[in-house]
Structure 1
Amino acid sequence: MPDRVPHVTRFAPSPNGRLHLGHALSAIIAHDLAGESGGRFLLRIEDIDGPRSRPELADEFRRDLEWLGLAWDEVPAQSTRLASYAAAAEALKARGLIYPCTCTRKEIQEAGAMEGSDGLIYTGTCKRQPPDSSCPAAWRLDAAKAMAETGPLTWDDALAGPQVVDFSGLGDVVLVRKDLPASYHLAVTLDDAADGVTLVTRGADLFAASHVHRTLQALLGLPVPRWHHHPLLLGADGEKLAKRRGSPALAERRAAGEDGRMLAEQLRLQHLSLGT
């Protein structure tokens, strides 16, 4: 039975590689959840990945989605939103909720960092001893200060149910990168709020990120959506599909004359077989 609440969902690819079947499934799920509820499905291009971003891929993405039989409303790309990221970062700095960090990944590993849900759990070197201000720095969320300010927080996933915010497997995540105007965490949280997204649909590999995003929503006074983390498509080797692993591109299948709408139906059936 269709959901009675109109959902605003989004598909937000980065033009640093071509779309594959995993992206197609995410887009289809977001598209269908919006359509079944009488809501809106948005396309947002996340194009702030420095020199890795290739503008021509955004047009390829649009052709891929059209080939799959999807319709969408497009919202401004991330590259048009840099001022909002900077303003949010400055507000968090002024409140002492983020701190500069000059540590490299190698230095973090050598400091005995453990692997967590979002990569290495930062050991807090630069929080204990502020770094040289002349060095390029990332800015990290002080999770302890943030949780002290917000108090206990919860969020809700359509599949996994109610969740309590927990940073134990995350640590002090980066919100502003050394080389980019914002990390994924800060940019996507601000963008979803600006675009009125009410149901955040994405793969289960990003489940842990929602603890960070819910915290940022509380700190920045942003609306709180619901989440829908769907299972991932896996390759023959049992690993998730990924651009960096050379997963077959939708554009290649499209160019070979494959029927995109039929492929979309096959992905829907596969999704249903997972019970989601």
Structure 2
Amino acid sequence: MVPQTVYTLLCHRDINMALVTLPRLLRFLSSDQKLIIFDDGSLTDDDTDILKALSVNIIIITRVDREDFVNSALTNYPICRQYREKSPFGFKLIDIPLHAQKFNARFTYSDSDIIYIKNCEDYFKQDRNVFLKDFTTAFSLKLKKILFKYHWSIPTNFNAGYFSYDSSRFDLDFVEHYLSLPDVYDYLWLTEQTCWALLFGRSGPSYCTNEDQFICREGYNDLKSENLAIHLIVNLKNKYVEWAVDNNDISLPPTFNLSKKVTPLYILTRKLSHMIKY
């Protein structure tokens, strides 16, 4: 396993949380690993000064600084340009992989609302495509459309809060095509995550995190000894201070499982489970 550059996207609204979570992430990087923070355009000069003071390994790339580079790369991709103007998620879907493709053979992405607790070094030096396993499968269009209308391959339980990806497999042509389809905006907040899941589906075998080690689950309240990292989704956002404690307990290193793909049987089983539940 080879240490790789880690990227995150950050806005001014989340700066207080990031000042707690990012130092936790930095604890698990080697001395030659960089944490590159992409500004969504809202970070202030004070924000960037405070962030740079956290570590010499932090690099901040503001939206202004990268506009010429990204716009040049998107000359023939008008829909990608429109999407990144409408949604800050476009910076995660387009700007970050374009930068990584130029400078890094492989990169790791981590949302700023993830708290890394202990024994997390291996999350940042994977040599295969890995992603965060969610407690559910949530995409921007119905699974039936993904499978039967578009005939796309896509992994189940995909969450784009954390992943490691082969930069050479990033396909801007596919992203442009995907973003041109009205269907993919049925659930706007999931458009970017779904595209990343599809990129993984197009890039060969992928692996997902162990769901008991790397938590991505609503309503999770009690830390357990096997927990290594937690994605602070929904009602967990206010836990970032409480759970930002030094923990040097001995635990197993991160493990990963071969991901499963959405299939007709998966869709049927999911539907039956929903009917029984409700």
Class of the TM-score when normalised by the shorter of the 2 chains: 0.3 to 0.5
TM-score (norm. length: structure 2):
0.42
TM-score (norm. length: structure 1):
0.42
Q: Larger radius of gyration, structure 1 or 2? A: 1
